[in-house]
């Protein structure tokens, strides 16, 4: 029988800053009987919940694995230092969110490697999970530790800690891993690794041995199994074979990307020479637009999210972006769901895309010019021109945005002082182009060369060089009154060290971990002093790893095949030196990078014939769906794909114009080439082409304001907040109810104004960690609904621990919940303490309090300490035979007594254990009959 650790966690969570990170009770979380499945697979992410839970790749694998009846996949994320300290102090292992199973009790631990500065967290997770750090020390009963993700394309600094590495796409490969693990007899671990090494894309570091020269450079990586001298990445040739997760996890805690996500495309062939993901995830594979729309619509209904993100490395380049946006807007806008495109290059910003992006409630826009001069942008293959950027800045200001963030890098190959100063000049020209209406910020990081890119041989700036260029920028940007944000030089330095590191860095990593390094990607947590100490202990000079590598030097990752020929990377580097752009193979011609076999593996797109390359899936009108959405019209000179978009914009502009007496101001700024398609295609100037759209005033393009429906009914709902839900904070509670109502098809009313909010009015906040029988919320509805039906529908959709009890109508003019509450009755249970006081001790303490005339109580709040007379503020205090204390307090606008503080003080407990007292609200007392007549309230 497997032992889970949920109870142990329950006892620790009141002591941590954000218990919601560790609950595992989200909507969409899958719990299977773990002792009845063949393979237990831990999906591990070495970051804190808010970042880990935002990662779409993990959600995809969670869905793929849990679809198999013989596999249970559960999540394990890095504990924040407060929980780590508690786990170590109490000897509790790091465990999965869903079942509380220790990491060591899984068969496979799959670690996602997205960023080099999570490596110490990975070690912490293994050790806290009860798994020997080094793969060589693991036995038959230990899990197989496998890593994947972009950093896995050079896993060498982690090699001694990993049993295996999965290169490339995981959807098919994780199933193969499960099959091999399932078939294993549980005895010979080497035999298991040998079988796993037979899976395409699976790399076993122990089967390769690096050999170094006297000058410390790598001579070769010797394959110990001569049958497998190299490992080639796994490619999923057809994205459509795996539909997006239909029922993803909906967090109860605010996460970094708190929205639904659908991957529309994988890979990118734009060829930005610094971008590792753009190279290692080639070729480009688009998802069928029809599937995107249908699955997204289903996803929104299932999750209740109010925003969906169409994800890829550059969604503006997705063939179906315009029709998909149009169809999704048509379907989702009435539900007040926004669609966002998080990664869009400025040269891929069509007016249609901008119009859609504007619908999302955003105050700022972000673009990534990456370099300050055109020369350097040509070197790094950023195709767009400066005039496009300036026009975009003007347009953003016209459309109502108020801030513009520009991302740049310093330290790009061939950079000169002129390029650095060019960053400040370009940012200033953007601000000027926007007529001073945009607050422009230049956000600057240090370039870190990545394996498997044309710049993999380039040098990275030293710390001193980085700081010198940052100073120059600070001065130049300051002179131009442009805000400056910079990436911590030391973080980039560490990132560069590990990005192109070799196995010798593993000892440095372990030492840094032992010294206390964690969450190194957080500038307020990174400890460069400890890293320096670790490097010094092992005699490692970081400059060795940051230096320029000769083209004939063996690189630590050369035995790993990311699908890119070395010859191509060298040719592309030569083109960079010349400042020559490499053609986009999805539109122009193949440049033989090596990613395609032109049989199963090739670029896949859904663009209609003529718009993209010659042998792709969209040829010959294959995309029936696209034709349905954007039909060609006889004689229409514009490409079918865009006809309707332009027609809509034209109609809207013409209608608005006719209604105005004064002609709109028309821009005289030259048109960016990529937006001048209308004129090129034969359209009349000013008639449904890009010039028309760009020249229009913001007012003419503003969406028709949608007036939120007025409330027609107000329902008062009583609910319980128990179990894991006691750790859902007040802010998250509103989002949780809102999304549950959306999933339940309940038509909520919204507030008026610029940012309409759902009309949910909760009673006074329950402190985090308190459970309750008797919480209240007013729900205002836009369409009538029986209160009992509302409660039943919510009950089906709310996460574990939020339980509607009763609902009834109240007049719209009735006083708020807050205004009608007289007080609360709590119980306080000391039985949850490690050493609970005897019931007699508790009874005596309570009797002393009741008998006292006054009782000074020191309370601490964010604004400081104060002393209250608790005797005057407590209406009743009693203890039963088991030692449970019942406490009645009035609802106060002013000073109030927290029951656990009172009982903790009465019992003489140290303040750090007060949160462990279990507080439960048994009743809310109301002042008027409206509440009391509907709900039985204990006397
Ligand atoms: S092999 Fe050719 S078509 Fe395929 S991704 Fe590379 S350059 Fe593009």
**Residue-wise pLDDT tens digits, 276-325:** 999 999 999 999 988 999 999 999 999 999 889 999 998 878 888 877 88
pLDDT in tens, 220-267: 999 998 888 999 999 999 999 999 998 999 998 888 888 999 999 999
Which residues, 6+ apart, have CB-to-CB distance to 410 below 8 Å?
Answer: 420, 423, 444, 445, 446, 447, 461, 466, 469, 470, 473
- Of all atoms in ligand 1, which is nearest to the CA of residue 593? 6
- Burial, 421: exposed, middle or buried (Cβ in 10 Å; 0-12, 13-18, 19+)? middle
User: Greater confidence, 895 or 159?
Assistant: 159
Query: Across the beta sheet with 439-446, what order do the strands follow?
Result: 364-370, 403-410, 439-446, 483-486
Position in ligand 1 atom list of the atom nearest CA 284? 5
Give me ligand 1 centre to Cα 111, in Å: 29
Output the residue whose Cα is nearest ligand 1's atom 4. 596
pLDDT band at 344 (very low <50, low <70, confident <90, very high): low
Query: Closest ligand 1 atom to the C-alpha of 594?
Result: 1
Q: How far is the CA of 410 from the centre of ligand 1 (A)?
A: 29
Q: Which atom of ligand 1 is nearest to the CA of 267?
A: 5
Atom 2 in ligand 1: residue holding the nearest Cα = 590
Peptide bond connecting 491 to the previous residue in cis, omega within 30 degrees of 0: no
**pLDDT-based confidence at residue 457 (cuts at 50, 70, 90):** very high
Question: What's the gap in Å between 598 CA and the centre of ligand 1?
Answer: 9
Residue 648 has pLDDT above 80, yes or no: no
Range in 78-92, 129-143, 631-645 with the lowest mean pLDDT: 631-645
Per DSSP, the three-state class of 463 is helix
CB 715 within 8 A of CB 672: no
In DSSP terms, 859 is beta-bridged to 866
Which residue's alpha carbon is at the smallest distance from atom 6 of ligand 1?
593
The CA-CA-CA angle for residues 478, 479, 482, to 5°, reads: 50
Distance CA(306)–CA(594), nearest Å, equals 41
Cα 612 to averaged position of ligand 1 atoms, centre (Å)? 14
Entry pTM: 0.86
Distance (Å) from CA 563 to ligand 1 centroid: 10
* Res 891 pLDDT > 60: yes
Alpha helices (H) in 798-869, listed in sequence order: 817-820, 839-851
d(CA 830, CA 908): 12
Q: Round to whole Å and give the CA distance between 453 and 278.
A: 9
Q: Whose CA is nearest to atom 5 of ligand 1?
A: 283
- Ligand 1 pocket: which of 271, 277, 283 to mutate (most atoms <8 Å of CB)? 283
Which band of pLDDT confidence, cut at 50, 70 and 90, is reported for residue 17?
very high
Share of residues in the chain with pLDDT > 90 (%): 69
Mean pLDDT of the chain: 86
Please give the average per-residue pLDDT across 534-539, as a whole number. Answer: 98
Q: Using alpha carbons only, give the angle 902, 903, 904 rounded to the nearest 5 degrees.
A: 95
Task: Give the C-alpha separation, 350 to 343, whole Å.
Answer: 14
Q: Does residue 543 carry a pLDDT above 80?
A: yes
Most confident of 105-114, 687-696, 888-897: 105-114
What are residue 45's DSSP bridge partners? 77
Q: Please identify, by atom number, the ligand 1 atom nearest to the C-alpha of residue 602.
A: 4
pLDDT in tens, 751-805: 887 677 899 999 999 999 999 999 999 999 999 999 999 999 999 999 999 999 9
Quote the ligand 1 centre to 578 CA distance (angstroms). Answer: 21
How far away, in angstroms, is 115 Cα from ligand 1 center? 26
Of all protein residues, the one whose alpha carbon is nearest to atom 3 of ligand 1 is 590
Cα 231 to ligand 1 centre (Å): 20
**Does position 666 have pLDDT exceeding 50, yes or no?**
no
Site residues for ligand 1, CB cut-off 6 Å: 269, 282-283, 585, 590-593, 595-596, 603
Q: Are 304 and 745 in contact (CB under 8 A)?
A: no
Measured in angstroms, how far is the CA atom of residue 590 from the centroid of ligand 1?
Answer: 5
Tokens representing 345 are 């290059």
* pLDDT reported for residue 396: 82
Residue 377: pLDDT above 70?
yes
């Amino acid at each position: 029988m497997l032992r889970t650790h949920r109870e142990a966690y329950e006892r620790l969570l009141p002591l941590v800053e954000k218990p919601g990170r560790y609950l595992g009770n989200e909507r969409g979380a899958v719990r299977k009987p773990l002792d009845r499945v063949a393979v237990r697979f831990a999906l591990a992410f070495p970051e804190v919940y808010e970042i880990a839970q935002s990662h779409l790749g993990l959600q995809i694998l969670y869905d793929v694995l849990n679809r198999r009846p013989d596999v249970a996949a559960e999540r394990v994320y890095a504990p924040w230092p407060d929980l780590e300290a508690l786990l170590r102090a109490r000897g509790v292992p790091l465990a999965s969110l869903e079942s509380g199973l220790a990491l060591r009790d899984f068969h496979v631990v799959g670690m996602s490697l997205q960023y080099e500065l999570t490596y110490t967290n990975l070690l912490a997770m293994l050790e806290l999970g009860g798994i020997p750090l080094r793969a060589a020390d693991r036995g038959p009963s230990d899990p197989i530790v496998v890593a994947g993700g972009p950093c896995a394309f050079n896993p060498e600094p982690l090699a001694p800690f990993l049993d295996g590495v999965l290169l490339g796409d995981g959807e098919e490969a994780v199933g193969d891993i499960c099959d091999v693990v399932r078939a294993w007899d549980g005895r010979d671990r080497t035999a298991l690794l040998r079988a796993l090494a037979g899976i395409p894309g699976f790399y076993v570091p122990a089967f390769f041995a690096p050999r170094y020269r006297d000058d410390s450079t790598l001579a070769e990586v010797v394959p110990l199994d001569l049958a497998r001298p190299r490992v080639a990445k796994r490619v999923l040739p057809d994205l459509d074979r795996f539909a997006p997760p239909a029922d993803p996890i909906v967090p109860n805690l605010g996460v970094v990307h708190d929205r639904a996500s659908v991957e529309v495309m994988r890979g990118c062939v734009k060829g930005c020479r610094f971008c590792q993901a753009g190279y290692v995830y080639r070729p480009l594979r688009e998802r069928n637009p029809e599937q995107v729309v249908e699955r997204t619509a289903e996803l929104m209904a299932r999750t209740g999210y109010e925003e969906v993100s169409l994800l890829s490395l550059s969604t503006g380049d997705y063939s179906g972006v315009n029709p998909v946006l149009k169809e999704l807007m048509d379907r989702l806008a009435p539900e007040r769901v926004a669609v966002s495109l998080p990664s869009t290059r400025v040269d891929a910003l069509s007016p249609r895309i901008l119009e859609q992006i504007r619908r999302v409630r955003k105050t700022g826009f972000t673009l990534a010019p990456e370099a300050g001069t055109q020369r350097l942008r040509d070197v790094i293959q950023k195709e767009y021109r400066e005039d496009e950027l300036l026009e975009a800045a003007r347009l953003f200001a016209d459309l109502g945005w108020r801030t513009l963030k520009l991302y740049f890098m310093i330290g790009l190959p061939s950079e000169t002082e002129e390029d650095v100063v060019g960053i400040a000049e370009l940012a200033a020209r953007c601000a000027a182009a926007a007529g001073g209406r945009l607050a422009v910020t230049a956000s600057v990081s240090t370039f870190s060369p990545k394996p498997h890119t044309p710049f993999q041989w380039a040098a990275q700036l030293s710390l001193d060089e980085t700081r010198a260029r940052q100073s120059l920028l600070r001065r130049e940007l300051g002179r131009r009154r442009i805000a400056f944000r910079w990436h911590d030089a030391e973080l980039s330095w560490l990132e560069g060290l590990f990005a192109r590191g070799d196995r010798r860095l593993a000892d440095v990593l372990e030492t840094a971990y032992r010294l206390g390094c964690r969450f190194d990607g957080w500038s307020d947590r990174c400890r460069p002093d400890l890293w320096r100490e670790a490097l010094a202990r092992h005699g490692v000079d970081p400059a060795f790893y940051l230096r320029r590598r000769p083209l004939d030097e063996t690189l630590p990752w050369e035995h790993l095949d990311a699908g890119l020929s070395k010859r191509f990377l060298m040719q592309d580097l030569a083109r960079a030196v010349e400042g020559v752009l490499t053609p986009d193979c999805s539109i122009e011609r193949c440049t033989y990078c090596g990613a395609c076999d032109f049989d199963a593996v090739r670029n896949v797109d859904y663009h209609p014939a003529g718009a993209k390359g010659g042998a792709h899936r969209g040829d010959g009108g294959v995309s029936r769906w696209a034709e349905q959405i954007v039909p060609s019209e006889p004689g229409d000179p514009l490409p079918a794909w865009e006809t309707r978009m332009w027609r809509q914009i034209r109609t809207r502009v013409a209608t608005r114009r006719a209604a105005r007496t004064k002609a709109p101001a028309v821009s005289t700024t030259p048109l960016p080439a990529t937006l001048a398609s209308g004129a090129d295609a034969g359209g009349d100037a000013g008639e449904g082409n890009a010039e028309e759209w760009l020249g229009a005033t913001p007012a003419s393009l503003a969406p028709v304001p949608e007036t939120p429906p007025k409330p027609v009914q107000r329902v008062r709902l009583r609910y319980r907040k128990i179990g894991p839900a006691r750790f859902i904070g007040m802010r998250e509670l509103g989002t949780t109810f809102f999304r549950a109502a959306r999933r339940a098809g309940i038509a909520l009313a919204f507030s008026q104004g610029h940012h309409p909010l759902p009309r949910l009015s909760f009673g006074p906040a329950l402190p985090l960690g308190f459970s309750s029988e008797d919480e209240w919320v007013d729900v205002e509805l836009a369409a009538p609904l029986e209160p009992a039906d509302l409660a039943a529908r919510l009950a089906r959709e709310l996460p574990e621990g939020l339980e509607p009890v009763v609902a009834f109508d109240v007049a719209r003019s009735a006083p708020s919940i807050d205004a009608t509450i007289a007080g609360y009755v709590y119980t306080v249970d000391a039985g949850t303490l490690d050493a609970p006081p005897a019931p007699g001790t508790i009874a005596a303490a309570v009797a002393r309090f009741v008998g006292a005339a006054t009782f000074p109580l020191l309370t601490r709040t964010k604004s400081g300490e104060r002393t209250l007379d608790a005797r005057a503020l407590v209406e009743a205090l009693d203890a039963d035979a088991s030692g449970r204390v019942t406490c009645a307090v009035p609802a106060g606008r002013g000073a109030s007594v927290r029951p656990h503080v009172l009982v903790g003080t009465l019992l003489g407990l140290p303040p750090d254990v007060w949160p462990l007292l279990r507080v439960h609200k048994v009743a809310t007392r109301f002042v008027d009959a409206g509440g009391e007549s509907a709900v039985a309230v204990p006397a």
